[in-house]
């Protein structure tokens, strides 16, 4: 994630480009420190809505645990598990070290892995190594990341070259207007991102997925993005990492107090998934992330119809605290929960899980229905 400097556009301004690269690196390192230190910094806000859903437990499941199948497909490749490590880091030494461990763990466990925005490699080319994760994760899908705002101002051919050099299987385009508004050096003009994303997707050498970063993709935007050639949209809804709160820790005075008012901002992930499915978004193009905090949240997102489920904060904290083993252990825990919940709901395949009976709270249903109604009014 990050900000855009107009200086970057003016060819030949090498000094400005390097200064921007340095600033990007420092900001990324600060974000990482804030996200990792949960004792000192509170970065989560609102509710993801998963607590408003329960599975119907089956006392007679009629399923043998070894028969459960969790294999899935992601960006055209088969994967062992239907969840992934969301886009996070790179661009600082600490970020690079964590990226390597995340990628090694992803390879060992058979899950896809994302990376943080690659914009910095066009400003500070020496950090390209931080993003060359394919060498640590040769057998699982690895996807790059770039901001939607950058698609307006950067030469797409240059980006395609970067993507090819990284040998990734896809690229995530992130939408983060909330964060940008609270970065002193952030973007303020969000016009033209949908059109730029469509142009980018059309020429991209790899499939494009479009994600938010913790406030959710509303149904109208979701439809536009799917029509514009994105293979997946990742709702990245509210209830988990809140990037205005992350920025708040770098702000003071009135700016900090203003950021504080956005603590519960955004569209909760679980009712948003349900609303998108109710509005006809095909499950195979829908990814779920934002406030997914345990194995059962993963199962619930799959039961709401998501194709695969992403987690960011839990993995960055796991890799910081326990390195490669910390991440593989966490993935093992999620796998155990997934397999067990599938048995206890009488499901052998992920297809069956996607239609499992869910008991939902009135608050969940109200939020889902309000989202559906708002989308229908806007149509
Ligand atoms: C340390 C950190 C760095 C992140 N950097 C990026 C990024 O560069 N690009 C991006 O699209 N999302 C980035 N994200 C956002 C996540 O991919 C995800 O959308 C968001 O954190 C919500 O998921 P969560 O609640 O599981 O953390 C970052 C998240 C964390 C925690």
For the CA of 86, the nearest atom of ligand 1: 17
Contact 350, 72 (CB under 8 A): yes
The torsion defined by the Cα of 102, 107, 108 and 113, in degrees rounded to 10, comes to 40
77 sits in the region (left: phi over 0; alpha: psi -120 to 50; else beta) called beta
Q: What percent of the chain has pLDDT over 90?
A: 91
How far does the centroid of ligand 1 lie from the alpha carbon of residue 224, in Å? Answer: 22
Name the phi and psi angles at 292, rounded to 5.
-80, 115
Regarding the beta carbon of 179 and ligand 1, being less than 6 Å apart is answered no
The predicted-structure confidence for 147-171, as pLDDT tens digits, reads as follows 999 999 999 999 999 999 999 999 9
Residue 178 has pLDDT above 50, yes or no: yes
**1: pLDDT confidence band, cut at 50, 70 and 90?**
very low
Task: Give CA 360 to chain center in angstroms.
Answer: 25
Give me 212's structure tokens. Answer: 């938010």
How far does the centroid of ligand 1 lie from the alpha carbon of residue 367, in Å? Answer: 24
How far does the centroid of ligand 1 lie from the alpha carbon of residue 306, in Å? Answer: 18
Residue 9 has pLDDT above 70, yes or no: no
- Closest-CA residue, ligand 1 atom 18, reads 213
Compute the distance between CA of residue 131 and CA of residue 263 in angstroms, rounded to an integer.
Answer: 31
Compute the distance between CA of residue 247 and CA of residue 20 in angstroms, rounded to an integer.
Answer: 18
Contact 159, 130 (CB under 8 A): no
Rg (CA), the chain: 20
Regarding the beta carbon of 35 and ligand 1, being less than 6 Å apart is answered yes
Residue 34 has pLDDT above 70, yes or no: yes
Ligand 1 pocket: which of 86, 175, 293 to mutate (most atoms within 8 A of CB)? 86
Give, to the nearest 10 degrees, the angle between helix 313-344 and helix 93-109: 20
- Closest-CA residue, ligand 1 atom 7, reads 116
- Closest-CA residue, ligand 1 atom 1, reads 32
- Closest-CA residue, ligand 1 atom 30, reads 88
Average pLDDT along the chain: 94
What was the pLDDT predicted at 10? 45
Regarding the beta carbon of 47 and ligand 1, being less than 6 Å apart is answered no
What was the pLDDT predicted at 15? 80
Which DSSP letter does residue 354 get?
T
Per-residue pLDDT, averaged over 292-300, amounts to 98
The predicted-structure confidence for 248-278, as pLDDT tens digits, reads as follows 999 999 999 999 999 999 999 999 999 999 9
What are the CA-CA distances from residue 142 to residues 93, 94, 210 (Å)? 20, 20, 15
Compute the distance between CA of residue 191 and CA of residue 124 in angstroms, rounded to an integer.
Answer: 27
User: Which SS3 state, helix, strand or coil, does residue 139 take?
Assistant: coil
**4: pLDDT confidence band, cut at 50, 70 and 90?**
very low
For the CA of 172, the nearest atom of ligand 1: 11
Task: Give CA 5 to chain center in angstroms.
Answer: 24
Regarding the beta carbon of 173 and ligand 1, being less than 6 Å apart is answered no
Contact 134, 142 (CB under 8 A): yes
For the CA of 243, the nearest atom of ligand 1: 21
How far does the centroid of ligand 1 lie from the alpha carbon of residue 213, in Å? Answer: 6
Give me 129's structure tokens. Answer: 């190594």
What the chain holds in terms of domains, given with CATH numbers, is: 6-378 (3.20.20.70)
Per-residue pLDDT, averaged over 211-230, amounts to 96
Ligand 1 pocket: which of 29, 210, 213 to mutate (most atoms within 8 A of CB)? 213
Residue 285 has pLDDT above 90, yes or no: yes
Please, what is the Cα angle at 16 between 160 and 150, to 5 degrees? 35
User: Which SS3 state, helix, strand or coil, does residue 48 take?
Assistant: coil
For the CA of 293, the nearest atom of ligand 1: 26
- Closest-CA residue, ligand 1 atom 29, reads 88
**90: pLDDT confidence band, cut at 50, 70 and 90?**
confident
What was the pLDDT predicted at 12? 58
Contact 172, 200 (CB under 8 A): no
Residue 91 has pLDDT above 90, yes or no: no
Per-residue pLDDT, averaged over 49-58, amounts to 98
Per-residue pLDDT, averaged over 86-102, amounts to 94
């Amino acid at each position: 994630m990050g900000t855009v400097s107009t200086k970057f556009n003016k060819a030949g301004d090498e000094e400005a480009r390097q200064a921007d690269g340095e600033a990007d690196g420092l900001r990324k390192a600060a974000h990482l420190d804030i996200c990792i230190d949960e004792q000192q910094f509170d970065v989560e806000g609102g509710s993801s809505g998963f607590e408003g859903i329960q599975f119907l437990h089956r006392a007679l499941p009629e399923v043998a645990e070894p028969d459960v199948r969790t294999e899935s497909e992601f960006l055209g490749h088969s994967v062992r598990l239907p969840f992934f490590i969301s886009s996070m880091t790179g661009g600082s030494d600490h970020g690079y070290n964590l990226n390597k461990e995340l990628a090694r763990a992803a390879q060992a466990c058979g899950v896809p892995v994302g990376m943080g925005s690659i914009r910095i490699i066009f400003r500070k080319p020496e950090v390209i190594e931080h993003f060359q994760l394919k060498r640590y994760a040769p057998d699982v899908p690895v996807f790059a990341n770039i901001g939607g705002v950058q698609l307006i101002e950067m030469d797409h051919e240059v980006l395609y070259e970067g993507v090819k050099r990284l040998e990734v299987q896809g690229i995530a385009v992130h939408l983060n207007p909330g964060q940008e508004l609270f970065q002193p050096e952030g973007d303020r003009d969000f016009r033209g991102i949908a059109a730029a994303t469509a142009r980018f997707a059309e020429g991209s050498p790899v499939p494009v997925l479009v994600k938010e970063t913790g406030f959710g993709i509303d149904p109208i935007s979701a439809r536009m993005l799917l029509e514009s050639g994105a293979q997946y949209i990742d709702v990245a809804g509210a209830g988990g990492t809140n990037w205005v709160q992350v920025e708040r820790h770098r702000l003071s005075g009135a700016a900090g107090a203003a950021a504080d008012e956005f603590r519960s901002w955004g569209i909760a992930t679980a009712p948003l998934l349900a609303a998108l499915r109710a509005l006809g978004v095909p499950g195979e193009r829908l990814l779920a992330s934002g406030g997914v905090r345990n194995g059962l949240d993963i199962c619930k997102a799959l039961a709401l119809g998501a194709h695969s489920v992403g987690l960011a904060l839990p993995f960055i904290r796991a890799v910081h605290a326990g390195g490669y083993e910390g991440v593989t252990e966490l993935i093992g825990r999620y796998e155990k929960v997934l397999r067990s919940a599938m048995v206890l709901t009488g499901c052998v395949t992920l297809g069956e899980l996607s239609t499992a009976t869910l008991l939902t709270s009135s608050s969940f249903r109200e939020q889902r229905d309000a989202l559906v109604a708002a989308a229908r009014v806007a149509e």
